[in-house]
Every structure is written in structure tokens, then in C-alpha cells.
Structure 1
Amino acid sequence: MITYFDCHAHINSPSFSKEAISNLIKKAQEKHIKGIISVTETYEDCIDVLNVAKQYPNILLPGLGLHPIQPLIDENGKRLDKGGRSSTLDEVYPILDLIKKHKEEIVCIGEVGLDYSPQFLKNVEEEKKIQKEIFEKQIDLANEYNIPLNVHSRSAGHYAIETLINKNAKNVLLHAFDGKSGYVLKGLEAGYYFSIPPSIKRSPQKQKLVKILPLDRIILETDSPALSHEKGAINESSNVIISCEEIAKIKGISVEDVMKITYENSLKLFPKLKSLI
């Protein structure tokens, strides 16, 4: 039987109602997904993910971290679907405390990293500096407790990998990496893994990335509800099979081989996934 791990998803996304989460989990199990790592972006996400993971302990494991970009909030306190702003330093400290408190429960620290997309930055150099400081604080905690990192690096691949290497980060997943080939090679030299979302089906950049990557450094993800194989569609964990199929086509091997190797890679990087087997 083919089984999979989805090593980067947002199960508690505002895109999903509580009822929808239940249906998504059921569908994932029907598709033989053995485990889902649900990562966070905000403090509120962290609290929610911890609670949701308790409801689905046989498939869902939490990651906690502060994303470099925070959602915009309207006057009623509701999270807006579009737009964002750079994270601030005071937002990371409560999450660092949560990570310390729940270090035995969480499978990774994430989603953390850097995002230098120009539409999110106003005071560019200052915000880049703060993002890096926030990232480094979370790397330090990962090193202290030997917890893997689940890393975002949009428009900042070079800087994210450079920061990780300089901070001596060891167990790293670079999710949906969009950096240049040279930076990919630096990440591989440092021992890092790269996860591939279903958007590979429509992304020449992700297809090129898979051509470069050796199979023993590839992991599957969905980034649900984002990065679907169909532009604009809501993604879900059951679509992780699409990543597997596209990797198999590019590498010229069977889906079963990709499943087996990515499954083993996931267990190597995220040992707590073994609790789901």
C-alpha cells in the first residue's frame, strides 16, 4: 500500500471550517496519508493548531512558529484574505514561550523564515533586519531543543539559507523553495531537505527544482490551502499524491519508489512522525 506524509500544511486555515477540517482529515486518511504536519503563522494559529492536533492525534502533528509575514486585520478584528505586513519583534516572544512549553508535543518549529516580497515591506531594510532577528531567535531555540525547522523563504532563498548555515542549523526543511539553483546546491551541501507542493504540476520553477534535487533530499508537502495543482483552487492534504506523481514523471521512476523514499526522508527529518506509524 502506498502511504504518504504531508510535511507542510495549514489545517487550521481560515479557509477551512471546523466541519471542513474533519472532512479533510477523513479524505486524507482515505488516500493513505499517514501523517500531516500542521504549521502556523501567528500566535492565534499556534493555540488553534495545538487544540486541533489533540482532536486528530492519529494523523495530525503540530508545528509552532512565527511566520515572517502577518495577516492584515480589519476594524472588526477579522483576518483579511489578502495583503500582509512584516512581523514585529514583540510578536515572537509569546511564540518562543509556547515552543518551550510544548517542545515535547511539536514535530517542528515552523513556519518560520524570511519573506522579502516587496508588496509586504514598507521600511524595507529595517523590516528585513527584524525578520532576520525573529528567524534567528527561532533557529536558536531549534538548536537548543534539537527540533527540526520548517522554513519559508519566498523571495529570500539566498538569505534564508545563509542565515541557517551561519546559525549552524542542522535539521531543516525548505518548503516550496523558489530560489536559484546555486542556492539549492548550498542548501544540499548543508544537509537540508526540500519539500514539493502540488503546484509543481503547473510550475516550471518547481519542475526545475526537482530535476536538481536528489531523491534522498525530497519531501512531500501541500501547503494546504495554498499551492494547489490548479491555480486559484483550495488545496488539501489529499493532493499530496499529485506531488508524488509529478516527481516520479520528472525522475523517470515509479510513484511507489518516490513514495517510499520521501516517506523515509520524512521520518529521518521529523522523528516524531514515527508515533503515527
Structure 2
Amino acid sequence: MIFETHAHYDDEAFDDDRDSLLKSLYSEGIEYVVNVGASITTTVKTLELMKQYPFVYGAVGVHPSETAELNEENFKWLGETALLPKVVAIGEIGLDYYWDTPERSIQKEWFSRQMELAKELKLPAIIHSRDAAADTLDMIQSADLKQTGGVIHCFSYGKEMAKSYLDMGFYLGIGGVVTFKNAKKLKEVVEYAPMEQLVLETDCPYLAPEPNRGKRNSSLNLIYVAQEIAKLKGISCEEVITITENNAKKMYGFPRFE
């Protein structure tokens, strides 16, 4: 079955039908969902979803664009929260220079601190990197995350950058963008990368794949991502689903829960 490695079901886009949608996932072939915190508030909401739905697991962390809210008190809370049994990763964390707020120095400080937390707790990191390729790679290499590993979420760089992360043992998160006709660079990365280092994700409610581009995304659309990867790799969709499910379980340490 499909393993959804990165979703945001806490988002208000799901307020009208969250419960019915989540309860429908298993019958549609979605076995597990990792809901990913992006702020203190969304991390709290993630914890609530984890409690309510047995198949929903969580990642706790603060997205680079929200790092101005971090201080010693709530960072300590993040560390304590990360010890909960169904928390499987620290994330999403990283650098985002698209809007360039907050200041890069603040983003870097809390990216570094959250990577150290991942290392301390031996949890994988979910990395967000937008328009910050060089700095993200430099900081990850300096932090030496080889032991914890993790995933480069919504991978958006070229083959050379992909090789750097693959060589460190990271997974690449592949979502709806791979189905876009103009996503030549990402398609090349998927063709290049070993299947054993790819995982499926939506980043829902964002980045819905073709044929639903522009609409609200959900885990139900992951089949389209799997089909596109299968086409690019020259293998069956069933193989893509099986391999990426195994990859996700390995990345998130799921033998601990079964």
C-alpha cells in the first residue's frame, strides 16, 4: 500500500471534510500518513491528529519561514514533544530564501538547532530547501546528519545536487510536481536516482499532480505520482508503491511500531 510521507492535514483547507477524507484513505490504498509540523501551532495540531487516527504519525518542527517564533522555551517543548512514541521525524526544517523572511541568520540558527535535535534524538530530518541550495547543503554537511538521515522534501534541484544528498544516504521526496509537463529537471532526477532512495509525498493541500493540478491536493492523488515514476523508471506502478513503502518504513523506523 502507499505510504504518504509528508502531508499537512492540519491545514484549514481540510476543515470541512478532514474526518471523512482521512477515514477513506485506507480503502483507497493509503496505509500510513506522516503529518508534518511547520510551526508550533501546526505541530500541536499534528499531535491531535496522531491521537485521533491510528494510521497518522507525526513530525515535529518549525519551517524556516516560521522560525522567528522560536525561542528557548518553545524549542525545549519541541524537544520534549519529539519523544512521543508516534513522532517519527524532526521537520519540516531548513532554509527558504524565496521570501527571504525572517532574516537568513535566524533561519540558519534554528535550522542548525533543529538538526542537532534530530541527531540528539536519533530521528530523521525532513528538510525544506527553497532557493537555498548551496547553504542548505553546506549546513547539512557541517551538521553531519549521516547517522540520522532523512528526506529532502519536495526535491526541486538538479542531478548534481541530488547526487550530493543521495551519496549521504538521504531520500528524495517526490510529489505532484513530477507529473507537470514542464518539470524536466525533476523528471531527470527521478530517472537518475535509485528507486531505493525515493519516497512518495503530497505536501497536501499543495502541489496537486496532473490531472488535478491547481485543486486541493490529498493523499488520494499519490497514485498519479507513482504512475509517473513508474513511467520514468520503466517499471510497474505496483513496484513503485512497494519499494517506496519499504523506503518510507526504513526511513521512519517503522519496525518500532509494528
Matching residue of 1:103: 83
Q: Distance in 1 between matches of 2:63 and 2:106?
A: 12
Q: Which residue type is aligned with residue 50 of structure 1?
A: L
Matching residue of 2:168: 190
Matching residue of 2:62: 66
Question: How far apart are 1:239 and its partner, in Å?
Answer: 1.2
**Is the CA contact (8 Å cut-off) linking 2:97 and 2:130 kept in structure 1?**
yes
Matching residue of 1:113: 94
Question: How far apart are 1:259 and its partner, in Å?
Answer: 1.2
Question: Structure 1-normalised TM-score?
Answer: 0.85
Q: Which residue type is aligned with residue 269 of structure 1?
A: M
Question: How far apart are 1:102 and its partner, in Å?
Answer: 3.8
**Is the CA contact (8 Å cut-off) linking 2:158 and 2:186 kept in structure 1?**
no
Question: How far apart are 1:164 and its partner, in Å?
Answer: 1.1
Q: Which residue type is aligned with residue 178 of structure 1?
A: S
Give the match's secondary structure for 2:57. strand
Alignment counterpart, residue 222 of structure 1, candidates 172, 190, 202: 202
Give the match's secondary structure for 2:91. strand
**Is the CA contact (8 Å cut-off) linking 1:155 and 1:178 kept in structure 2?**
no
Give the match's secondary structure for 2:77. helix
Question: How far apart are 1:132 and its partner, in Å?
Answer: 1.1
Q: Structure 2 matches for 1:128-139, cutoff 5 A? A: 128-139=104-115
Matching residue of 1:257: 239
Mapped pair 1:150 → 2:126: yes
Q: Distance in 2 between matches of 1:173 and 1:234?
A: 23
The percentage of aligned residue pairs carrying the same residue is: 30
Question: How far apart are 1:242 and its partner, in Å?
Answer: 1.4
Question: How far apart are 1:195 and its partner, in Å?
Answer: 1.0
Matching residue of 2:188: 208
CA pair 122-31 structure 1, distance change in 2 beyond 3 A: closer
Give the match's secondary structure for 2:216. coil
Mapped pair 1:180 → 2:158: yes
**Is the CA contact (8 Å cut-off) linking 2:2 and 2:31 kept in structure 1?**
yes
Question: How far apart are 1:14 and its partner, in Å?
Answer: 1.6
Using the TM superposition, name which of 199-208 and 47-56 deviates more. Answer: 199-208
Give the match's secondary structure for 2:179. helix
Q: Which residue type is aligned with residue 264 of structure 1?
A: N
Mapped pair 1:56 → 2:63: no
Matching residue of 2:116: 140
Matching residue of 1:84: none
Question: Structure 2-normalised TM-score?
Answer: 0.91
CA pair 273-10 structure 1, distance change in 2 beyond 3 A: farther
Q: Distance in 2 between matches of 1:212 and 1:175?
A: 17
**Is the CA contact (8 Å cut-off) linking 1:53 and 1:60 kept in structure 2?**
yes
Q: Distance in 2 between matches of 1:54 and 1:271?
A: 19
Question: How far apart are 1:216 and its partner, in Å?
Answer: 0.8
Deviation by residue 1:4-48 (Cα, 9 ceiling, x = unmatched): 10001101012111x521122123212111100000111111111
Matching residue of 2:225: 243
Deviation by residue 1:81-112 (Cα, 9 ceiling, x = unmatched): xxxxxx32635751442332341331111111
Question: How far apart are 1:160 and its partner, in Å?
Answer: 1.5
Q: Distance in 2 between matches of 1:212 and 1:65?
A: 30
Deviation by residue 1:25-74 (Cα, 9 ceiling, x = unmatched): 123212111100000111111111101110002x100111000113xxxx
Question: How far apart are 1:231 and its partner, in Å?
Answer: 3.0
Q: Distance in 1 between matches of 2:32 and 2:240?
A: 17
RMSD: 1.8
Give the match's secondary structure for 1:219. strand
Alignment counterpart, residue 8 of structure 2, candidates 7, 10, 20: 10
Matching residue of 2:42: 45
Q: Which residue type is aligned with residue 218 of structure 1?
A: L
